[in-house]
């Protein structure tokens, strides 16, 4: 049989295009990694965050749940992708998305798995601890956790989670109470002080903690409401939407849950519902929560309507972020520049912050818009419109900015 040439790389993007018709500008500012229902794009800002360019699409038509740069080498870019027909996989790039190769062994449960599970979606990607270069974690639907030790080329089951004696109970398998697109592992968090200290979020299932690198797990849902379940005091079964650890103060965690906004200051194990301090007519339901990179008392949320049939659009159709600067004791509305009326949703991976001062805050909408605030939410401006439904927006600080 004749040898068939196999392409060793899939092309990504080829050139930057300035937004708003501005001339070419420096790209020394934030780079946003945008994953959508139909492909991925990059959005890069000038150092002063006044001018922006876009590159893409990459993998047009692919469902891109998450696109993340390795903050350790600032070069390796991983993409969690699938298509309507094809199974889930991970693509890797080392040139900021100009070319891509597929993982040799994408995340998968073991063949002959006792629950006969197969990965339907790779949903979440998290680089490992700073002391473990090349280590990544991936969360999947159904609620599987996977680890790579070679920068995303091959993935292995985290058996301490996937084969945990309580997994089927925690994950409500097979009668899952999952998200509309399936139950997921998300919010994979590695304690910056201890690579063996991990947190994950299950939608549904709750927050779980491991102190031994993923060999064993414990539910961590005390204090969280579960309005949709018959036992509101159950140990698990909750629906965290997004969990964040403060990078500089890692004893502090924040959580946007299906039933409220919470803060947890370890070693306590009971979450404090700081969403009770939100205006009653807005409520404290949403998908994302983002933290100020330096100030552990500052966090942003994007409230959505969780009443009636759960429209999951901004309350009363008036989009706004809300910020707390005192650890959730009070919240302030931020809607300057946002449309007076807009029926949109910001998904759990679609809000991020940059590393500049003042902190830039960014979010992508289900309507395909990317919004930016260079001043911590005081004023908003649209960067990009007319993209497909946005699933994720992550800030990156790549070495290569050409």
Partner 1 sequence: MKVRIPTPLRSYTANQSVVEAEGATIAAVIDDLDRQFPGIKFRMVDEQGRLRSHMSVFVRAERERDLTTSVEGVGEITLMQALSGGH
- Find out whether the peptide bond into 204 is cis, omega within 30 degrees of 0: yes
Q: Is 63 in the site for partner 1 (CB under 8 A)?
A: yes
User: What is the DSSP code string of 144-201?
Assistant: -EEEESSTTSB-EE-HHHHT-TTHHHHTT-SS---BTTB-EEEEEEE-TT-TT-EEEE
Q: How far is the CB of 192 from partner 1 (least distance, A)?
A: 33
Stretch of 105-113, 166-174, 253-261, 360-368 contacting partner 1, by CB under 8 A: 105-113
Stretch of 117-125, 183-191, 197-205, 329-337 contacting partner 1, by CB under 8 A: 117-125
Q: Is 153 in the site for partner 1 (CB under 8 A)?
A: no
Residue with tokens 């993007």: 13
Q: Is 86 in the site for partner 1 (CB under 8 A)?
A: yes
Residues 6+ apart with CB under 8 A from 355: 30, 293, 395, 397
Q: Is 8 in the site for partner 1 (CB under 8 A)?
A: no
Q: Is 60 in the site for partner 1 (CB under 8 A)?
A: no
Could you say which of 51, 66, 92, 117 contacts partner 1 (CB under 8 A)? 117
Rounded CA separation 179/328 (Å): 27
Burial class of residue 263 in the structure, from the number of CB atoms within 10 Å of its CB (0-12 exposed, 13-18 middle, 19+ buried): buried
Please count the other Cβ atoms lying within 10 Å of the Cβ belonging to residue 230: 7
Residue 18 or 105 having the CB closest to partner 1: 105
Could you say which of 75, 99, 118, 381 contacts partner 1 (CB under 8 A)? 118
Q: How far is the CB of 123 from partner 1 (least distance, A)?
A: 16
Residue with tokens 């990179």: 293
Binding mask 36-55 for partner 1 (x = CB under 8 A): -xx-----------------
Stretch of 104-112, 173-181, 189-197, 378-386 contacting partner 1, by CB under 8 A: 104-112
Contact 120, 142 (CB under 8 A): yes
Q: Is 309 in the site for partner 1 (CB under 8 A)?
A: no
Q: Which residues here bind partner 1, judged by CB under 8 A?
A: 1, 4-7, 10, 37-38, 61, 63, 83-87, 89, 102, 104, 106, 108-113, 116-119
């Amino acid at each position: 049989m004749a040898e068939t040439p196999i392409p060793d790389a899939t092309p990504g993007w080829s050139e930057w295009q300035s937004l708003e018709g501005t001339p070419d500008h420096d790209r020394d500012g934030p780079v946003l990694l945008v994953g959508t229902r139909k492909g991925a794009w990059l959005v890069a800002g000038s150092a002063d965050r006044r001018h922006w360019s876009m590159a893409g699409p990459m993998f047009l038509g692919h469902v891109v749940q998450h696109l993340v740069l390795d903050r350790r080498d600032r070069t390796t870019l991983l993409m969690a992708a699938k298509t309507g027909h094809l199974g889930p996989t991970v693509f890797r790039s080392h040139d900021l998305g100009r070319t891509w190769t597929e993982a040799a062994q994408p995340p998968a449960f073991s063949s002959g798995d006792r629950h006969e599970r197969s990965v339907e979606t790779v949903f979440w990607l998290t680089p490992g601890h700073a002391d473990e270069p090349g280590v990544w974690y991936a969360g999947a639907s159904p609620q599987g956790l996977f680890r790579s030790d070679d920068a995303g080329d091959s993935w292995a089951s985290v058996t301490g989670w996937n084969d945990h004696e309580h997994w089927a109970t925690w994950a409500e398998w097979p009668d899952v109470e999952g998200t509309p697109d399936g139950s997921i592992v998300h919010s994979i968090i590695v304690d910056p002080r201890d690579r063996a200290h991990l947190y994950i979020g299950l939608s549904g299932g709750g927050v779980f903690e491991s102190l031994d690198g993923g060999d064993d797990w414990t539910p961590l849902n005390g204090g969280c409401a579960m309005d949709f379940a018959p036992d509101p005091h159950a140990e698990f079964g909750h629906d965290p939407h997004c969990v964040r650890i403060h990078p500089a103060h890692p004893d502090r965690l924040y959580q946007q849950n299906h039933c409220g906004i919470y803060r947890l200051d370890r070693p306590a194990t009971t979450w404090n519902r700081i969403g009770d301090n939100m205006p009653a007519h807005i409520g404290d339901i949403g998908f994302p929560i983002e933290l100020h990179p330096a100030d552990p008392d500052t966090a942003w949320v994007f409230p959505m309507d969780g009443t009636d049939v759960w429209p999951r659009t901004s309350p009363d159709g008036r989009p706004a972020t809300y910020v707390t600067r005192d650890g959730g004791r009070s919240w302030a509305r931020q809607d300057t520049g946002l449309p007076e009326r807009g029926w949109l949703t910001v998904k759990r991976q679609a809000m991020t912050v940059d590393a500049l001062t003042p902190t830039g805050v960014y979010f992508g909408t289900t309507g395909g818009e990317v919004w930016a605030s260079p001043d911590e939410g005081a004023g908003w401006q649209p960067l990009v419109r007319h993209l497909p439904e946005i699933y994720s927006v992550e800030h990156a600080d790549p070495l290569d900015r050409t």
